Amino acid sequence: MAQTHTDQHGTRVHKALLVIGFLALAGGVIAARTTPATSYEIAFYASTPTLFWLGIGLAGLVGIGVGFTAVRDTRTRQASMLLTGSAVLSVVALPVLRGFHFYGPGDALSHLGWVRMFEAGTLHPASMRYPAVHSVATVLSTGGALAETHALMLTVVVFFALFLLFVPLCVASITNSGPAMIVGILSGLLLLPINNIGVHTTAHPTSQTIMFVPIVLYLLFGYVRDRGERYSIGSVSGIGILLGLSAITTMLLHPQQALNLLGAFLLISVLQYGYATFRDPDHPINRHRLLYDQTALFTLLYLLWVPRLERVRVAVVDITTGLITGGAPGTAVAGRTVSLAVLGGSLEEMFVKLFGISLIYVIGAGLLIVALLVGRLGRVGSHGRGFVQYLILAAIPAGGFFILFLLADAADQYFRYFGFAMAIVTILGAVAITISIDRLGNLGTKPVLSVGVSLIFVAFLVMQLLAFHPSPYIYQPSNQIAEGQMSGYETAFDDREEEVQFAGIRSGPRRYVAAYYGTSSATAETFPGSREVVPEEAFNDDLTGAYDEPTYIPVTDADYDREVGLFQELRYTEQGFQQLDRSTGVDRVQSNGEFQLYRVDPEDTDG
| Strands 480-481 vs 501-502: parallel, antiparallel or unpaired | unpaired
Q: What is the mean pLDDT of residues 237-246?
A: 92
Most confident of 176-180, 223-227, 364-368: 364-368
Pairing of strands 232-233, 236-237: antiparallel
How confident is the model at residue 333, as a pLDDT?
Answer: 59
Q: How confident is the model at residue 12 (pLDDT cuts 50, 70, 90)?
A: confident
> Would you state the pLDDT for residue 338?
57
Cα distance between residue 502 and residue 334, in whole Å: 30
Output the pLDDT for position 319.
Answer: 57
In the chain, what percentage of residues exceed pLDDT 70?
A: 90
Mean pLDDT of the chain, nearest integer: 89
pLDDT above 70 (res 340): yes
- The answer to whether the Cα torsion of 583, 588, 591, 596 is positive or negative is negative
Residue 1 pLDDT: 39
Asked if the model's pLDDT at residue 266 lies above 70, the reply is: yes
For range 355-361, the mean pLDDT: 96
Q: Which residues, in sequence order, are bridge partners of residue 481?
A: 102
Strands 501-502 and 551-556: parallel
Q: Is 579's pLDDT higher than 60? A: yes
CA pair distance 448, 453, nearest whole angstrom: 9
Would you say residue 479 has pLDDT above 90? yes
Rounded to an integer, the average pLDDT of 251-261 is 94
Give the phi and the psi of residue 603 in degrees, each rounded to 5.
-70, -20
pLDDT band at 448 (very low <50, low <70, confident <90, very high): confident
- Residue scoring higher pLDDT (298 or 376): 298
Q: Residue 607: what pLDDT?
A: 46
Distance CA 542, CA 579 (A): 9
pLDDT at 233: 56
Mean per-residue pLDDT for 258-276? 95
The confidence score (pLDDT) of residue 235 equals 63
Burial class (CB in 10 A: 0-12, 13-18, 19+), 67: buried
Instruction: For residue 536, name the pLDDT band (cuts at 50, 70, 90).
Output: very high
Q: Which of 236-250, 442-456, 570-584 has the lowest mean pLDDT?
A: 442-456
Of the pLDDT bands very low, low, confident and very high (cuts 50, 70, 90), residue 387 is very high
For residue 326, name the pLDDT band (cuts at 50, 70, 90): low
Q: Of 312-321, 375-384, 385-394, 554-563, where does mean pLDDT reach its minimum?
A: 312-321
- Secondary structure of residue 178 in the 3-state scheme: coil
Q: What is the DSSP string of 285-354?
A: GGGSPP-HHHHHHHHHHHHHHSTT-HHHHHHHHHHHHHHHHTPPTTHHHHHHHHHHHHTT--HHHHHHHH
Per-residue model confidence (pLDDT) at position 2: 43
Mean pLDDT score, 538-549: 89
- Confidence check: pLDDT of 323 > 60: no
* CA separation, residue 291 to residues 173, 220, 238, 427, 536 (Å): 18, 9, 15, 21, 56
Query: pLDDT tens, 271-302?
Result: 999 998 887 777 889 889 999 999 999 999 99
pTM over 0.75: yes
- Among 130-139, 187-196, 300-309, 335-344, which is the least confidently predicted range? 335-344
pLDDT at 590: 96
Q: Spell out the residues 6+ positions from residue 148 whose beta carbon is closer than 8 angstroms to its own.
A: 112, 115, 116, 119, 137, 138, 141
- Give the C-alpha distances (Å, rounded to integers) separating 562 from 319, 471, 577, 592: 32, 11, 12, 19
pLDDT band of residue 45 (cuts 50, 70, 90) is very high
For residue 230, pLDDT beyond 60: no
From 176-180, 191-195, 246-250, 366-370, the region with the lowest mean pLDDT: 176-180
Residue 315's pLDDT is 57
Query: Rounded to a whole number, what is the largest CA-CA distance in the chain?
Result: 97
Q: Say whether pLDDT at 558 is over 50.
A: yes
